[in-house]
Structure 1
Amino acid sequence: MGRKDATAARLPVDQYRKQIGKQDYKKTKSALKASRLKAEAKKSALGIRDIVLILMAVLVFLVSVYAFFYLKLTTEMDLDLDVE
C-alpha cells in the first residue's frame, strides 16, 4: 500500500526529467553524438582567462631574463670604464 501511494505522488521535477528523457530518445544517434561532442569540446577548450594567464607568465619570464642580462652587461661595462 505504501509503495503505491509513493509512486502516485511524483515530484514535478521527476516528471519533467522523464519528459526530457522521452524527447531525448526521439533524436537520432548522430544528433546525440554531435551534441555530446560539442559539449565535450566546450568543456575542454581553453578559455580567454587561461590564455591571458599563459601569455602573462611568458611575458614575465622574458622580461626577467632581459633584465638579468641587461644588468649583467651594464655592470661589466661600468667596470671596464673604471679601470681606464
Structure 2
Amino acid sequence: MGRKDASTSRLPVDQYRKQIGKQDYKKNKPVLRAARLKAEAKKTALGIKEVALVLVAILICLLAFYSFFFLNLNNKADPDVDLNEN
C-alpha cells in the first residue's frame, strides 16, 4: 500500500528535471549536436599557459645544450698558442 503513495507523489527535483528534459527534447538535433561539439572543443583546446610552458621548456633545453658546448669549447686551450712567448 505504501508503494502506491510513493509512486504518485513526485519530488520537486524530479518534476524540474522532467521539465528540463522536455525543453531539451523540443530543440532540434543539429542545435544540440553543435552545442555538444562546442563544449567538447572548449574542453580539449590548449590554453595559452600550456603553450607558453612548452615553449619555455624547449628554450631552456636549447640554452642548456648551447651553454654546455660553449663551456667545453671555451675551456680547452689551443696547443699551438704559447702564452709565455713574450
Task: Give the TM-score range, shorter chain.
Answer: 0.7 to 0.9
1:68 maps to 68
Range with greater deviation from structure 2 (37-46 or 12-21)? 12-21
User: 1:6 offset after TM fit, Å?
Assistant: 2.7
Point out where structure 1 has 5 or more consecutive residues left out of the alignment. none
Greater Rg by CA:
2
Q: CA separation of 1:40/1:82 partners in 2, compared to 1, >3 Å: closer, same or farther?
A: same
1:58 maps to 58
The alignment of Structure 1 onto Structure 2 pairs a total of residues equal to 81
TM-score after normalising by structure 2: 0.78
Instruction: Compute the RMSD of aligned alpha carbons.
Output: 2.0
Task: Give the letter aligned to residue 80 of structure 1.
Answer: D
Q: Secondary structure at the match of 1:80?
A: coil
Tell me how far apart the structure 2 counterparts of residues 55 and 67 of structure 1 sit (CA, whole Å).
Answer: 18
Tell me how far apart the structure 2 counterparts of residues 64 and 81 of structure 1 sit (CA, whole Å).
Answer: 27
Task: Give the letter aligned to residue 53 of structure 1.
Answer: L
Range with greater deviation from structure 2 (47-56 or 31-40)? 47-56
Point out where structure 2 has 5 or more consecutive residues left out of the alignment. none
More helix by share: 1
